[in-house]
Amino acid sequence: MAESLEAWTDFNVAMVGATAALAGLLIVAMSVNISAIVASPALPARAAASIGTLTLAIVVGAIGLVPGQPGWAHGLEVLVALVVVLALEVHAVRLITAESGRKPSERAAKILSGALPLGPFVVGAALLLVGAPAAGLAWLAVGCVLAIVGGILFSWVALVEVLR
């Protein structure tokens, strides 16, 4: 596993830095329109899930930098962090589906943008647990990139769409 992780060091360092910066910017973006965000039934939960997903990407990148850990431990660590974020996402999905006045396609897009990044993290952690580190780390990388995309999309919502 050490050789596999070593190959991902630069990626993990870049992801931790970029994702941490984006998470901070998202929090600042939310503070600009906080009254509009908290007035919405689903936006606070979506914000929590988005920050949770970015935090998951930070955690995944950071634990990928821990030297000498076995693959199963890395997979288990990802799963533990993932459970918390999944709980946040499930709560957001419940509130999104309860929204009235929205087209089903709009609700589906909101759900997909929040939930999509979590799938690769599940697959990656499972592959690490079963002893397939190369594939597992690649899936975790996909999850990290999708977390950034989702974070950027929600930043747009928190800054612009909330005011429409």
pLDDT tens string 11-38? 999 999 999 999 998 898 889 889 989 9
Q: Give the amino acid at 120.
A: P
pLDDT tens string 22-78? 999 889 888 988 998 999 888 999 999 999 999 999 999 999 999 888 989 999 999
Question: Does residue 160 carry a pLDDT above 90?
Answer: no
Domain map (residue ranges) of the chain: 2-163
pTM score of the predicted model: 0.91
pLDDT tens string 83-111? 999 999 999 999 998 887 778 888 888 88
pLDDT in the model for residue 84: 95
